[in-house]
Chain A
Amino acid sequence: MPFQPIKFYQTGSFVVGNRLLSEDQRSVQSSQARTNSLTLGHRACQGCGEALGARYALDAAMRASGNQMVVANATGCLEVFTTPFPETSWQIPWIHSLFGNSAAVGTGIAAALRSKGKQDIRVVAQAGDGGTVDIGFGPLSGMFERNDDVLFICYDNEAYMNTGVQRSGATPPAARTATTDAVGPHPGEDFGKGKNLPLIAMAHEIPYVATATVAELRDLEYKVEKAMSFHGARYIHVLVPCPLGWGSAPSDTIRLSRMAKETGLFPVFEAEGGEVTSVSKIRHRLPVEEYLRPQRRYQHLFRPQPDTQTIGRIQAIADKNISRFGLLNGEPK
């Protein structure tokens, strides 16, 4: 695990807070003084993983930067549910320009701050999976290769949720979306498609790349803090379940994130300069069925009969991740 577990406490380091730790060792989210970068009254759906992920990540970045931070946001749910005129839920300097350009806007902000000698102010650019792996990919790749001093955070809910759940380059195989419907001989998204952006980011050999989920707050905060310790281009990919698009219970948002990791479907790791430096080990390995079954987007895999062949193909993806990244205890990395 990339962070040192707090040993021997009744709940280890997995809970948000820990009254037994000194203040400076506690998670940002446990603090009464956390920024609440994203505050009350936003219009995200019940149980929104993205709202949670954004507050987690940005509050951590705020702490790491000493509250000297500005954020560029792509078009998408996160933008729409936070800033419908006349109200905004942001409490930090924030700009929304377009769907595909948040990385470039971030680059511009960073360039401006550099030219003004204000590099103590840090820049975060963020987008959903569409704004990252699809329409925003060009500017993001440019930002990476120029090593611009921007932390880019992708909140990945695996489809275009804001427009009504259409398939993106991050939609996993067999998942039903409005444009990969559960019809025909191969219902849901095809196998063999999609982009693995963390690996692509690593191929740019930027200083820091990490993946995280909203289920492991301390890990996420650790990674944001770590990312903020570097200058140059950094990338964090956060899995954020979407109850609406995934067809899951709003209360299951964190549980599903946890299961995505515990099955091996979503490997949680970090990389520096293009090399994986640590992985978050699976604590209690789960078969993929347990992750798939509570989600209506995979309902066709279980009704009328379990589609064991397709489930097996998804399990094979998990197994491949597990061996590729060494996700089980006792394996290197």
Chain B
Amino acid sequence: MERPFAITLEVGSSRHNKTGTWRVERPVYVDRLPPCNDACPAGENIQGWLYHAESGDYESAWRKLMEDNPLPAVMGRVCYHPCQTACNRGKLDEEVGINSVEHFLGDLALDKGWMPETAAADTGRTALIIGAGPSGLSAAYHLRRLGHTVTIYEAGANPGGMMRYGIPKYRLPREVLDGEIRRIEAMGVEIVLNHKVNDLAAVLAEKRFDAVFLAIGAEIGKRAYVPAGESARILDAVSFLHSMEGQAPPLLGRRVAIYGGGNTAMDAARTAKRLGATDAVVVYRRTRDRMPAHDFEVEEAVEEGVEMRWLSTVKHADAGKLLLEKMTLDEKGMPTPTGEFEELEADSLILALGQEVDLELLRNVDGVVATDGVVQVDRNMMTGVPGLFAGGDMVPGERTVTVGIGHGKLAARNIDAWLRGTSFSKGGRPELADFDLLNTWYYSDAPQTVRAKLDVARRRSTFDEVVQGLDESNALFEARRCLSCGNCFECDNCYGVCPDNSVIKLGPGLRYEFDYDYCKGCGICAQECPCGAIKMVPESI
């Protein structure tokens, strides 16, 4: 076709006009740290695995999760999910039910028999782990994946530590725990049961292992002094819960009092209820809002008929009854006695006042420092003894399964570095993806899907699991509620909203690039990015 001069132009010829020269600010893609990841004690890349779950690719999601945590099915049940507390979606409607999706993925993996990625090539290095609790198992898993030969010495008859001996079955069915531990064993981790290490110095002296990770937990229940009559029945919660595994359940009587306000107190009270107690009364010296137990644990306990006696201390225990003193909180929130007393009928008293570490095995080891009953470690999780690392409940920190798993991972990475003669560094933490960096208009309103619970009648009488898993469609829904804070999820917004066609879409999984030859720097892409993954930076001349 003829092109009459000037009046008729060849299509697309404006490409000669490089409008990028107009720009004073340039957009750049960033990956910011999502608050969930930031808050996860196990260091999970939650946003990362939810991304796969959103597309229904649960296996990829599970594998992504397994990069950080070998026990998703356990974690999906027992984690107190600080990730959800931090979740930006909570400011929009309700936080994403991360824990429930993890629960779903963990169960699905067990059901499908998915196995972790095979270990890296054998390094020929050996590591001993003492204690097959959360941190020990976690460390073993990660070290094995890194190619090391791992042996665990476990004092108990079964592996799992507090996951087995502290957490009741109705919260964590044992077949789930067993299934996830078996998977670790199948990777080639050797677990030697009934092998209590009484003298670590002797084990170290054998020099059979290139590195040792101590993870014996804190399994001694604290015994506070409670004046008691001879026939008063007093036991500690740790032993009580431990005795639920394989032994004959202890005789508690019809009326049981539990002294303490933590999660263990709730576990003990709920277990007592299930064992047939008509009354299970938690005695706590402060108020509910100051209770260390998590809200949902308290709620579930109350649903099951557990009673609460706030602002009370046990002054005296006798057969069939307790003398309680009423407390009040001073201006600092400290409980102070009032001098008022009351009686509580109770056939037994369970003390749930915290746990201590049995440091006996360290007595002959030089260089390990214990302060306030816990072993001190440096930021590489190493004790004062080179090659001896420690983690979990026996070192300072919050005592939860999740923290333990996090310690195990961190210790494994440091042990790996130690074994290779290098050092491990975590790398810089990216900028946090705060709520106000998001453009939440793009997210459709979708309230959280709550996991169903077993009906209360059955909860009061059986150890069946209370919290039921989500079905696939609900888990998918929940995963899709993720806002993907700070991380591009390829929603194409930047590609679409650029008035200057200056965003290049690279294709699935490859994200985008800016075409700085043409980008005028208007900033619409950054403003309209739902998840805050674009930043405007001034141009320098």
The residues of A with any CB-CB pair to B shorter than 8 Å are 5, 7-20, 26-27, 29-30, 32, 36, 38-44, 46-49, 51-52, 55, 82-83, 85-92, 217, 243, 249-255, 258, 283-284
Contacts and interface: CB of A to CB of B under 8 A. Distances in A.
A116 B522 CA distance: 45
Contacts of A86: 6, 9, 13
B11 A92 contact: yes
B481 interface: yes
Contacts of B442: 11-12, 14-15
A13 B496 contact: no
Contacts of B507: 32
Contact of B14 (A7, A16, A27, A40): A40
Do most interface residues of chain A lie in helix, strand or loop, or is the interface mixed?
loop
A20 B492 CA distance: 12
Given A40-B500, A52-B499, A11 B521 contact: no
Interface in B474-497: 476-477, 479-484, 489-493, 495-497
A91 B12 contact: yes
B31 interface: no
A51 B500 contact: yes
A5 B15 CA distance: 36
A42 B519 CA distance: 11
B443 interface: yes
B491 A18 contact: yes
B422 interface: no
Given A15-B530, A39-B15, A10 B502 contact: no
Contacts of B505: 30, 32
A20 B54 contact: yes
A169 to B, nearest CB: 25
A8 B19 contact: no
A20 B55 contact: yes
Given A42-B500, A88-B10, 16 more contacts: A9-B54, A12-B444, A16-B497, A17-B490, A18-B491, A19-B489, A29-B495, A29-B496, A32-B505, A40-B19, A40-B500, A40-B518, A47-B520, A83-B9, A91-B12, A251-B522
Contacts of A89: 12, 14
B278 to A, nearest CB: 45
Contact of B15 (A20, A40, A283): A40
A10 B502 CA distance: 26
Contact of B496 (A16, A43, A251): A16
B398 interface: no
Nearest to B484: A10
Interface string B421-445: 0000000000000000000011111
Nearest to B483: A10
B441 A14 contact: yes
A92 B476 CA distance: 42
Give the interface centre of B55, B443, B500 by most chain A CB atoms within 10 Å.
B500
Nearest to B446: A8
Contact of B524 (A8, A39, A47): A47
Contact of A9 (B14, B19, B480, B522): B480
Given A8-B446, A8-B480, A39-B15, A16 B523 contact: no
A217 B15 contact: no
Contacts of B446: 8, 12
9 contacts: A11-B530, A20-B480, A29-B495, A32-B507, A40-B15, A40-B517, A41-B17, A49-B499, A250-B524
B480 A10 contact: yes
Contact of A15 (B9, B445, B493, B523): B493
Contacts of B54: 9-10, 20
A19 B11 contact: no
Given A9-B444, A15-B442, A85-B9, A42 B14 contact: yes
Given A11-B530, A40-B500, A254-B527, A19 B521 contact: no
Interface string B20-48: 00100000000000000000000000000
Nearest to A50: B499
Given A14-B442, A85-B9, A87-B16, A250 B523 contact: yes
A46 B521 contact: yes
B501 interface: yes
A254 B524 contact: yes
Interface in B505-541: 505, 507-508, 515, 517-518, 520-524, 526-528, 530, 536
Interface of B: 6, 9-19, 22, 54-55, 441-446, 476-477, 479-484, 489-493, 495-502, 505, 507-508, 515, 517-518, 520-524, 526-528, 530, 536
B279 to A, nearest CB: 45
Given A8-B446, A17-B496, A86-B6, A47 B523 contact: yes
Contact of A258 (B22, B441, B515): B441
A283 B13 CA distance: 41
Nearest to B22: A46
A284 B528 CA distance: 17
A257 B80 CA distance: 42
A16 B11 contact: no
B508 A19 contact: yes
Contacts of A16: 491-493, 495-497
Contacts of A253: 499, 522, 524
A251 B526 contact: yes
B525 to A, nearest CB: 9
B530 A252 contact: no
Contacts of B445: 283
B322 to A, nearest CB: 52
Contacts of A38: 501
Contacts of B508: 19
Contact of A30 (B19, B55, B477, B492): B492
Nearest to B529: A15
Given A52-B499, A55-B501, A85-B6, A41 B15 contact: yes
B97 to A, nearest CB: 13
Contact of B477 (A8, A26, A91): A8
Contacts of A48: 499
Contact of A17 (B11, B443, B491): B491
Contacts of A14: 441-444
A88 B10 CA distance: 7
Contacts of B483: 10
B268 to A, nearest CB: 40
A250 B522 contact: yes
B489 A10 contact: yes
A174 B143 CA distance: 70
Given A10-B54, A48-B499, A251 B17 contact: no
Contact of A10 (B481, B497, B536): B481
A5 to B, nearest CB: 6
Contacts of B530: 11, 15
A19 B495 contact: no
Contacts of B523: 47, 249-251
A189 B15 CA distance: 39
A19 B490 contact: yes
A55 B522 CA distance: 17
A12 B443 contact: yes
A206 B445 CA distance: 36
* A-B pairs with lowest CB-CB distance, top 7: A17-B492, A12-B444, A16-B496, A251-B523, A41-B14, A47-B522, A29-B496
Given A27-B492, A251-B524, A88 B9 contact: yes
Given A5-B444, A46-B522, A217 B496 contact: yes
Contacts of A36: 501
Contacts of B15: 39-41
B492 A251 contact: no
